[in-house]
Amino acid sequence: MTGNLQLLADTLARAKQENRAALITGMTAGFPTVNEGIAAIRAMLNSGADILEVGLPHSDPLLDGPVIQAADDIALRGGVRIADVIRTVREAYQATGKPVVVMSYWNPIDRYGVDRFCDELAAAGGAGCILPDLPVQESAPWRESAARHSLATIFVAAPSTTDERLRELTAAGSGFIYASSLMGVTGTRDSVNAAASSLVQRIRATTGLPVCVGIGISNAAHAAQVAGFADGVIVASALVKAVLGASDAAAGVATVAELTGQLSLATRRELELMPPVGA
């Protein structure tokens, strides 16, 4: 079985041709339950999301803020397993045909078995994996297995990442480069860090891969700002927060669908050229 690395590349290229940034939305697998999480994910993909990021719950998510931590805790207490993450990928892909990547810390994959994980992710229709804590220097076993399965290896760059380190990340990565808009953990913010734009420029000086920006993008205004300089806009915490605050599962799905629609419209750069209504 082969993964959907080409589908991921084609999706990002199509967004560029349409003069917009791709919208990548994220949701923790198994949250609030496996089935309810899948329902929320389908709502996102049917409301304008181009690419899905499925979070693999972890007991010690050091790079994530309180929103993702809460979702991980709920999923883990509910008994979620990697098999449920793979099922989430499969159902999302089969329902929409859109590329799906997994966001995971390295330890769960390493313990599960790299080849086993890659084989199951590819068989489910997955397109790759975002690995925020895997050092490039230690990534060869993953990259070799991912390449055999046509899966993207997506590294995360931060504003503090040196130029030398950026060259290493971009040379080893595939699919796209995940640019963190700020230093610190994931979560919603009041504004987009000014360092994000300069980081994207620095990354582009080292690679032709698309550069997608995440962490701290909380609303449509943030998405529109990032879409002005990045190839993709990544939103996860704001969507997870919407589910956390919902009165029930149905309300969570409706809220997620509405927010995704707003974010999708915000990534369309051509809207900036349209005159105001009534002008």
> To which H or E segment does residue 36 belong?
helix 34-45
Q: Which two tokens stand for residue 26?
A: 């994220």
Q: Which residues does 98 contact at the CB level (< 8 Å), separation at least 6?
A: 7, 11, 45, 49, 50, 51, 52, 92
Single out the residue of 240, 246, 231 nearest to residue 260, CA to CA.
240
Terminal CA-CA length for the chain: 54
- Residue 53 and residue 56: Cα distance in Å, rounded? 10
- The three-point CA angle 166-128-16 to 5° equals 70
Q: Reply yes or no on whether 53 is catalytic.
A: yes
Q: Reply yes or no on whether 110 is catalytic.
A: no
Contact call for residues 153 and 131 (beta carbons, < 8 A)? yes
Which of 36, 50, 64, 91 is an active site residue? Answer: 64
CA distances from 212 to 2, 4, 7, 66 (A): 24, 18, 16, 23
Contact call for residues 266 and 221 (beta carbons, < 8 A)? yes
Q: Which residues does 192 contact at the CB level (< 8 Å), separation at least 6?
A: 181, 216, 217, 222, 225, 226
How far does CA 167 lie from the centroid of its chain? Answer: 22
- Residue 242 and residue 48: Cα distance in Å, rounded? 17
* DSSP 3-state of 102: strand
Which of 36, 50, 53, 120 is an active site residue? Answer: 53
- Residues annotated as catalytic (active site), given as ranges: 53, 64
